[in-house]
Amino acid sequence: MAKTDLKNFTLPELEAFLSGQGKERFRATQIFKWLYQKDAQSFEEMTNLSKDLRAELENTACISNLEPATVEVGSDGTRKYLFLLEDGAGVESVVIPDEGRNTLCISSQAGCAMGCEFCLTGTYNLTRNLTTAEIIGQVCAIKREVEIRNVVFMGMGEPLHNLDNVIRALQIMVDGNGLQLSNRRVTVSTCGLVPEMARLGREVISNLAISLNATTDELRDRIMPINRRYPLKVLLQACREFPLPSRRKLTFEYVLLGGINDSLADAKRLLKLIHGIPAKVNLIPFNEHQGCDFIAPTQAAIDIFHAHLLAHNVTVITRDSRGGDISAACGQLKGRLAEKSVNGEG
């Protein structure tokens, strides 16, 4: 019989699992703290559990543990991790330092089914969803090396396409007996799965980032196929209805593609689209990669776009390109490892 990975459980689910084995419910809290606050990697370490209970757990359960297959460190302090999962699938995580406050970008799927034209991960197609344990395992593994203040679901995959496991992972992250992250410090990004946005808002409190990237349906249909199912009008209505805690804002991510969506006219249309929504805008100059015909915007185009939003009282940040010397764009490290394998290197 396959053993049950306890990192797939939220605290209430772990309580139910132990209760089904005739154990006291409070044992779940003890185990949860060992997993996420003391980083226990074996039941033997859980010294406030009886030897008999530890032996029983050893027979029926397991604790998964991710170890990075590759780590690259950039000159700007960015750290890129590649994890190889049990079935050989590869996923990436990135630590981005910012004035001593590290943000961890994690993956939710191996590959992606959304097919966004500018995204390298999408070229791998979807291999599978990550389990809750594989999502949370990225955080646990990297916390052993660096302190993490913020977690963003902006790595490989569309988080809302794997919503059950993403919600479980979020609940573990913000649980006071778990990883103890503030829900203000956790952000989920989506390309615009409208029904799943509503469910996320109902079931867990987190920040939400919308990957917008176009100001007309014609362009968004072309570069983001999800728009054909949920066009801008539908998506933006869902944004207006998303339950935001007091004084919180939605984030609109906008990848600036040179000569495609980076004009002043685009900036003006963007203002109209998000009018009335408590929002901030992250402008992301495109990171050029092999096999993609899009180019980075000019600095002048970036500056004009940024200045126009700022002049109309929109909170806007132009994201610096980080980790350019270590394949920090999603999918680049996985792609390089695959190339080495094909060529018989490494």
Query: Would you kindly state where each structural domain of the chain is located, as residue ranges?
Result: 4-62, 68-343
pLDDT digit string (tens) for 132-173? 999 999 999 999 999 999 999 999 999 999 999 999 999 999
- Single-letter amino acid, residue 292: C
Instruction: Tell me the H-state helices in the chain.
Output: 11-20, 26-36, 51-60, 132-143, 163-174, 194-203, 217-223, 232-241, 264-274, 299-311, 332-343
> What is the spatial distance between Cα 232 and Cα 131, in angstroms, rounded to a whole number?
31
Measured distance CA(69)–CA(47) in Å, rounded? 30
Q: Write down the pTM of the prediction.
A: 0.92
Domain range 4-62, CATH architecture: Orthogonal Bundle (1.10)
pLDDT (tens digit, 9 = 90+) per residue, 167-217?
Answer: 999 999 999 999 999 999 999 999 999 999 999 999 999 999 999 999 999
Going by their DSSP bridges, the two strands 150-153 and 103-105 should be labelled as parallel
Residue numbers in the chain where pLDDT is lower than 70: 122, 321-346
Burial 79-99 (b: 16+ CB within 10 A, else e): bbbbbbbeeebbbbbbbbeee
The answer to whether domain 4-62 and domain 68-343 are alike in fold is no
Write out the catalytic residue numbers: 92, 330
Selection from 158, 149, 133 nearest residue 36 by Cα: 133
Domain 68-343, CATH among 3.40.50.720, 3.40.228.10, 1.10.3720.10, 3.20.20.70: 3.20.20.70
Q: Which residue has the tokens 């066009």?
A: 231
Handedness of CA 295, 296, 299, 305 (dihedral sign): positive
